[in-house]
Structure 1
Amino acid sequence: MGSGARWDAGVLFLTRTVRMLAYGSTGVVLALFLSAVGLSDREIGALLTLTLLGDSAISLWVTRHADGLGRRACLAASCLLMVLAGAVYGLVPRPSFALLLVAATVGVLSPSGNEVGPFMSLEQAVLSELVPAAARTHVFAWYNLVGYAMTALGALAAGHVLTWAQAAYGITAVQGYRYVFLQYAASGAVLLLMFLLLTNKVERKKKALALAPAAAAAQARGDEEAGLREPLLRSPATAAGGAAPEDSSAPSSSPHASTGKPPAAGADVNAGAGVGAAPPAPSQLAAQQNPESTSDAHQQHQTVQARSGFLGLTPATQSLVLRLSALFSLDSLSGGLVTGTLLVYYFQTKYGVSTAYLGGLLFGANMLAAVSALASGFVAARLGLINTMVFTHLPSNVLMLAVPLMPSLEWATAMVFARYSISQMDVAPRSAYVAGVVPAEERSAAMGVINIAKSLGAAFGPLITGWLAQQGLFAWAFYLCGGGKIVYDLMLYFMFSHIHPEH
């Protein structure tokens, strides 16, 4: 990896740091803030669901057009929307449901405390191109470790600072929540400046393909490819400038070669050989010398035409991506039932714990997730990507089923920590797997589609949980979450364990 690529990768890790600190802090207070300003449990669930749906629509458009508009420009625009959302939540005294919804949607507020919006899709597409294929899993492992660690620190800081500020300065809980959202707006401004430091290497370079005969495209690179093959194909006599010796096993360009018969009487023996005729055009010469190049150029031109669909993917890639998206959306739907925000809301309503305790809960959970994310790279190197995704995820989902069955706060907290110690080991291998099965020129669109499908799946989780909580059935959110994820793990293994990364 060159110095420019290392610089861009470093900047992306720093932007991940700032962004996840902001998401971690708002994840602790978002549901509490919505409840404090008068929203019911059902309205909270509806707002979180609609927010994720809106985030998905925005992310789909951004990732679909990011390679054309410029990745840096799209990232910078998303930062401005973060500033807008933080300002609305932090400054408007009596916000309506509609205003809260619009601000959370366009400002990519995270209902889960984790990554939402177009940021991760674009950053992962860039990192996939900056680092060698063999290093992707480890890079994504560190990328996710940074995310979980910063989410943990953001949650811990928000929880303890709010508790301290309420005791020291007598501010109300709502006032404290507003300060957290103003910090979110400030983080968006910092991110904007950081994304402007990226170099041109993060942009996707378009390949210029001729739309006329494919041989013309082959001519542009014919000399280079011929030069690469020349030392292997030319005989010493040819290399010295003489005529190539005849090879009876090589196909002849003569029209009589295929039959082995002499030319008929009166036939022009030079027909097809070019004698006495105009010399072939340069594009034809390139096609004759480099038939593989002609075929490759034709295939590339067909690929460009095939990618003109709504998703911007070739048919083969689209089929693969849609199947992965369906499974990942099931996983996200199950996970959306118990997001970080809803988890702390459950603990607050059931056990009546302080904001500081809730911040510590998310801190511990995300720090354990960070360690497991780092270990996932080493596990994947030994077990394989799909095996790591499945066999580390299954036990964590059994632990999720057990959380509401625990007899005390301490046991429930221990079960949450045990789950998070292994639940996120599938994230880095999943990113590496998607990058490996999708061609480089389609990664931005493919990762965008997959991450948006995950967001759409997660969007309906809070709506269901809000309804369950309203009915006094909050514990069922944990049962549905664990059960749905177990189904996802089994389907993933049987559908994709035989498909290996090639890119």
Structure 2
Amino acid sequence: MNIGFARILMSKSIRVFLSGIVSILTPFYLKYLGFSPFLIGISIFVIVLGNVVQNLILTWFRSKINIKTYLLIVSLLFSISGFILFISSSIFLIFLSLFIGNISTTGTETGPFQSIEAGILPDLVDKNFVKRAYGIYNFLGYTFSSLGALTSSIPAYFNYDIFSFKIFYLLYGIGGLIIFINYVKFNYKEDKSTRLSLKDFDKKAKRDLYLITALFSTDALGGGFIVQSIVAYWFNLRYGISLKVLGPLFTAVNIITAISLLLAPLIAERLGNLRTMVITHLISNVFLIMIPIFSSFWISAMFLLLRQSMSQMDVPTRQAFIVEIFKREYRVSFNSISNTFRSISSLFGSPLDGVALENGLLILPFFAGGFIKIFYDFSIFYFYRNRTK
């Protein structure tokens, strides 16, 4: 295995394990600090806003900063965020830490780590292994996210003592230092000619950039209503479910997702990337809409698991789809620009969720997210059905 690919996998695994813990813990941590549902929704907004800003910086300074340097900078911010959250309970410092911490609210990530790693991954493996490499990359993401979700239940066994939350933010800070050291040793020979900004895209590439970014942003708008942190908090509000149950539930969610990511490239080899993306994503969104309809926790949990069995199959196939559409020199810039607008689009969901949940509108996150995502599925198939399978 290419050592650079191995370092990316190591970094990804550590990040999503820690984010799997923190993304579920944070709403509960803030709840026990006395935050309202609205402020908890705003905290998720701040996390996503931080990812937006870090992607924007990557986009603006793409021609001036090399990949390794930026990976080291965001790794250091990741670490500092954890240490601040461990030390302080100040609302200002909490929000500042959530902003700079590049916390992922899902196993897939949308911050600068994802933008860079997904962009350079095809350069680190054989061209015939690209689809499966993306499958492995995302499989590890959800596998370690599932372990993080299971670990997040620990504070429930300590009666939600505040220190039982804080210790995981310390772990987050230490993990960031390990990622930093890992990338200090990362050797990637970047060709300066590939440091292209938007103005360097040719006419066809710009058209695809604008269109695909708009489509992906539509999907992200729907996804912003149903980030893992909000869904976990929703189960607590709707059914009174504690972290003792939510931890194992989201462990199962992420394990099922991880398995599906290994299957996705195999299906794509038969159906093509686009068809695999659309068919699996469409079915999963029907399951998503079903989650809040019933009054039974077990039925809602069943539809959540069914949804996760297909919802992320579009992740490795989407990444391989981008490889089909864009030339090598455009990919990192495309990822940073696209992820920036995806993150911006996803900003609106969590504050609206906070208002909806505070006012008892418990179906809104799932209905809004599901129907917006279904619109995206039909749209991307319509525009690209004649370009690729």
Asked whether the two chains share a fold, i.e. TM above 0.5, the reply is yes
When residues 308 and 358 of structure 1 are mapped into structure 2, their CA distance, relative to the original with a 3 A threshold, is closer
Aligned 8 A contact 2:47 2:101 in 1 = no
1:95 counterpart = 2:90: yes
Provide the rounded CA distance (Å) in 2 between the counterparts of 1:132 and 1:453: 30
Mind listing any 5+ residue stretches in structure 1 that lack a counterpart?
A: 209-303
Partner of 1:421: 309
Structure 2 distance, partners of 1:318, 1:57, is: 22
CA separation in 1, counterparts of 2:156 and 2:39?
A: 26
Task: Give the drift of 1:451.
Answer: 1.5
Number of paired residues? 389
Q: Which residue of 2 aligns with 1:177?
A: 165
2:367 aligned partner: 479
Contact 1:86/1:184 (<8 A) preserved: yes
Are 1:379 and 2:236 an aligned pair?
no
> Is the 1:332–1:457 contact (alpha carbons within 8 Å) kept by the matching residues of 2?
yes
Quote how far apart the aligned CAs of 1:120 are: 0.8
Q: Separation in 1 of the partners of 2:81 and 2:107?
A: 15
Q: In the TM superposition, what whole-angstrom CA distance separates every residue of 1:445-483 from its partner, at most 9, and x where no partner exists?
A: 011111222211211111111111122102121111111
- The 1-side partners of 2:106 and 2:322 are apart by 23
Counterpart-to-counterpart distance in 2, 1:71 and 1:178: 32
The AA in structure 2 aligned to 1:462 is S
Is the Cα–Cα contact under 8 Å of residues 75 and 179 in structure 2 kept in the other structure? yes
221, 233, 255: which one aligns with 1:345: 233
What's the counterpart of residue 140 of structure 1?
134
Give 1:29-428 correspondences, 5 Å limit: 29-66=25-62, 68-92=64-88, 94-96=89-91, 98-112=92-106, 114-159=108-153, 161-164=154-157, 166=158, 172-199=160-187, 202-207=188-193, 309=198, 312-428=200-316
CA offset at residue 207 of structure 1? 4.5
Structure 2 residue matching 1:404: 3-state secondary structure: coil
Question: Partner letter of residue 192 of structure 1?
Answer: F
Alpha carbons 2:277, 2:317 under 8 Å: kept = yes
Q: TM-score, normalised by structure 1?
A: 0.74
Inter-CA distance 142–25: structure 2 relative to 1 (3 Å threshold): same
Partner amino acid for 1:18? I
1:10-52 deviation per Cα after TM superposition (whole angstroms, max 9, x unaligned): 1111111111111101011111112222222122222322331
CA RMSD of aligned residues (A): 1.9
SS state of the match for residue 307, structure 2?
helix
Displacement after TM superposition at 1:109 (Å): 2.3
| Residues 112 and 336, structure 1, Cα contact 8 Å, conserved in 2 | no
Of the structure 1 ranges 144-153 and 432-441, higher mean CA displacement relative to structure 2 is found in 432-441
Deviation at 1:406, TM superposition (A): 2.0
Report if aligned partners of 1:155, 1:362 keep a CA contact under 8 Å in 2: yes
Residues 444, 67 of structure 1: alpha-carbon distance in 2 compared, 3 angstrom cutoff:
farther
Q: Which has the larger displacement, 381-390 or 34-43? A: 34-43
**Aligned residue among 4, 7, 12 for 2:3:** 7
Supply the distance in 2 between the matched residues of 1:205 and 1:24 (Cα, whole angstroms): 34
Which of these residues, 315, 320, 334, is aligned with residue 432 of structure 1? 320
SS at match of 1:69: coil
Q: Which has the higher helix share?
A: 2
Matches within 5 A, 1:453-492: 453-492=341-380
Q: Give 1:67 shift.
A: 5.9
Give the share of equivalent positions with the same residue, in percent. 26
Larger radius of gyration: 1
* In structure 2, C-alpha distance between the alignment counterparts of 1:114 and 1:149, rounded to whole Å: 11
Say if 1:64 and 1:444 are closer, same or farther in 2 by CA, change over 3 A: farther
For 1:12-23, list aligned pairs within 5 A. Answer: 12-23=8-19
